[in-house]
Amino acid sequence: MKGIDVKNKLLKHGFKLAEIAKTMNETPQNLDSMLRAEDIKTGVLERIAIAINKTLYFFIGDEAQEHPLNSRFEDQLALYKENAEFYKKEIRERMERLEVSLSKLTANIERMSSQNHSSDILEKMNMLAAQVQALTEVANLPSQAAKESLKKKLQNQ
């Protein structure tokens, strides 16, 4: 299937490409590049279908067409969504623990600074605090941006 056909079908049904890209954790430019393919990959179609809450059959025929795989796909989609919610909750809980650790670490650095501890120890603790802070910030970014941001922050350490 041609990418342009997929794009036209999405637009015809009122979908906004920027919103689909955001749901897929892609930039609008990346999605546009995917949709310029002469032969769009099945994996890309699956990701788009999930993003718009449709099945693959949305792209290849009558949306109401019944197929034995439809119910299996819907079951898998529900499972993926359930897993995504579980991981989101897990990440939020870990972030909360990281923020508590960062607060404690910052308090210890301030306490040690006031007690004139070795500057070498304080420097290492400040570096660790910066790394924890970077991890905390990264959790709120889309995956590719998070990786790049973390890499830059750690290189600047």
Q: What is the pLDDT of residue 64?
A: 45
Separation of alpha carbons 108 and 97, rounded Å: 17
Q: What is the pLDDT of residue 155?
A: 64
What is the per-residue burial (b if ≥16 Cβ within 10 Å, else e) of 51-75? bbebbbbbbeeeeeeeeeeeeebee
Distance of CA 62 to the CA centre of its chain: 31
Higher-confidence position of 148 and 18: 18
Judge contact between 146 and 138, C-beta under 8 A. yes
Q: 3.40.309.10, 1.10.260.40, 2.60.40.10, 1.10.357.10: which CATH number matches 3-60?
A: 1.10.260.40
Which pLDDT tens digit goes with each residue over 13-56?
999 999 999 999 999 999 999 999 999 998 999 999 999 998 88
